[in-house]
Amino acid sequence: MAFTTAVGFGRPAARRTVVATLIVLAGIVSYFSVELRPAGAAIAAWWPAAGLGAAALLVSRGTRVLAATGILFAAMAANTLAGREWGLTVGYGIANAVEVWVVAWILTRGRAAARLDGVSDIARFLVACIVGSGVFSAIGGVTAFIVADQPLEVAFLSLLASHFSALVVVLPLFVISPRTHERVHPVEVLAQVAVLALITWFVFSPTSDLPIAYLPLIALLWAAFRLPTVLVAAEILVLATAATILTVLGGGPFASFIATGERTTVLLLQGFLIVHALAALFVSGARNDWGRALVRAEAQEELLRGGIVNAESGIVIAERTDDSRLVIRGINRAALTALGLESAPPEWFEAGIPLVPGQPVLGNRGLDALLRSGGAGEAELTRGDRRFDAQVSIRPLSRETAIVTVVMSDITKRQEREDAAVQSLVRLRDLNQQKDDFIASVSHELRTPVTAIMGFSEQLADEALGARAQQAADVIDRNARRLADVIEDVLELSRLTGSATIRRSSSEFDMRDLLELAAEDARGLYPERQIVIETSLPDEPVPVVLVRQDVQRVIANLLSNAVKFSPVGGTVTVGLGPAGDGVEITVSDRGPGIPAEHLPHVWERFYRIQDESHRDAPGTGLGLPIVKALVDERLRGRVTLEPQPTGTGTLARVLLPRESLPAPPTASVPVISQLSAE
């Protein structure tokens, strides 16, 4: 984690201390930058305080106004102590504060914190430094032009070079993470630092004036290629400091230009700093990007190798080279089994297999011919009692080279799995049929005693009984009819899903009359609840040619549900209207409705909604499954349930053709319906 990120997200007290320290250091460095500028120069060779000030703002949180104000006063104090004019002091102070705020804003815009790890990060950093130093140069140049009567373009360019070089040299040390992508031996680090130090001294020593100013770039690029970026940034800062001090003391190739004008020396030194800093940072960033890409590639390769090795299918990955050889890059155990090998020969992975006519490649005639041809296709392999299907695919890399992938599927094993699946399906169908037959048999056996109980309960209803006996007779009659309804539902569902489904004959009838009769029957279901059954039917007859019993059962079940879940004194409405070439029947109520999460499940057998508004209503959970099966399988229509537009209650829609449609082939219906029902 970078310095500014670690401190910025740390404890507030520590963050405030670091910000204050950086601002004080910026003021001290500003003072010495003015004092150590070349004799007679109006502008310092470079301004390290810009980097320290930007670091202070990156550490601070929020709007950063307070930290920018601190930079303003620190810069003004340093210029005042160095003896600069009051106008320049104020103008440069404001310019410093605006500069570091702009740099910090660009580096953190759209990010939680500034970072300098890859090429894209360094590109953003470069933009921030250019814009920030440009803003300072504009404000400072105008100030120098007004206060000190300096040429505007000269002041602008001098300040731009001074502050830009300072930002690219100092600031990276605070925004670069110390992590590294590979381990570097300490001996190499010490050797690189020693080489850089010796070269710097050789180039900038007071006794040297050779024109070899850019020789340190060699050692700096060594660091950029091998060392962590944070060490590269530290070396850039040390190199800049040493080069500046030694030049001021008269050493190095730039000192000889002081006699011709201090501006030339300053620009040469600033150019030296900018070139070294940017070259090292961009190379180090590119190295980091490459390191991350290498780590991702290694992870993907490991994942791919694991997938290939553990794959059930045989996989061979090879490279077809430009000299007509097939170099194996990967092969798993399943592929070796299909080829009849214990292990792959080492020369397959090294020199490769020559793709020469008549010479074996992988040992199978059809597959070898396909590989020699250089095209994609299929081949069949036989190994003992097992057969394999080999698919060859080609991905060209260049004109002569390509990646060849061979996938070998065990046809015998696949056939065994398919046979096992078919046998399981047959067993499942048989068990399902046995279950349906058992349910039907039990239900038939139960129907006889229940019918007898109902008959005797009806006789008891005609007798003059005492209050207690009458209550017992009512309980017997009510529960006997309830049990009869359950038996009838089970038998009906068994008939709908059984393999011996009996299809009734269609007949013409008036749908309007059927709905009137169904509504009249529904009014007598729960008389004590006083449910009102309303009808909204056409004035004219609506003739249809359908199975009357099936339609009657569908409407009866829907009305029974609507009545059961309606409040006392509620209203249930039955409607009928045209729908394309067919008719639409609607049944709506004002009950609690069906929650959206339960709608997909209400068509399942025995499904009941377990909440307070639905739990107490009588029923078996078979009514709606019967409706669904009748409408879908026999009537060839469609049924849906949806919430009422008013927010309470449920609206059932049944779309039916006006005439029975042909049924699908009977051979396939039982299996499909049984599997879906189960």
Which domains, and CATH codes, for the chain? Answer: 3-290 (no CATH), 309-415 (3.30.450), 423-497 (1.10.287.130), 507-662 (3.30.565.10)
With 70 as the cut, is the pLDDT of residue 482 above it?
no
What pLDDT score does 269 carry? 81
Measured on CA atoms in the order 253, 255, 260, 266, is the torsion positive or negative? positive
**Opening angle at CA 628, ends 626 and 634, nearest 5:** 85
With 50 as the cut, is the pLDDT of residue 158 above it?
yes
Rounded (10°) angle between helices 467-497 and 411-462:
150
pTM for this entry: 0.48
What pLDDT score does 191 carry? 93
Q: How confident is the model at residue 538 (pLDDT cuts 50, 70, 90)?
A: very high
What pLDDT score does 516 carry? 92
With 90 as the cut, is the pLDDT of residue 544 above it?
yes
CA distance 254 to 273: 12
Calculate mean pLDDT across residues 637-646.
86
What pLDDT score does 543 carry? 93
DSSP secondary structure letter of residue 577: E
Which 3 state secondary structure label does DSSP give 61? coil
Q: Give the CA diameter of the chain.
A: 138
Cβ neighbours of residue 430 closer than 8 Å, sequence gap 6 or more: none
Share of the chain above pLDDT 70, in %: 85
Calculate mean pLDDT across residues 157-178.
82
Q: What confidence tens digit (pLDDT) does each residue in 59-100 have?
A: 887 668 888 899 999 989 988 887 778 888 899 899 999 999
Share of the chain above pLDDT 90, in %: 14
Collect contacts of 4-10 with beta carbons under 8 A, ≥24 apart: 4/55, 4/58, 4/59, 4/113, 4/114, 4/174, 4/175, 5/113, 5/114, 5/115, 5/175, 5/177, 7/59, 8/58, 8/59, 8/60, 8/61, 8/113, 9/113
Q: What confidence tens digit (pLDDT) does each residue in 594-641 have?
A: 887 888 888 887 777 766 656 556 666 778 888 888 898 888 899 999
With 60 as the cut, is the pLDDT of residue 669 above it?
no
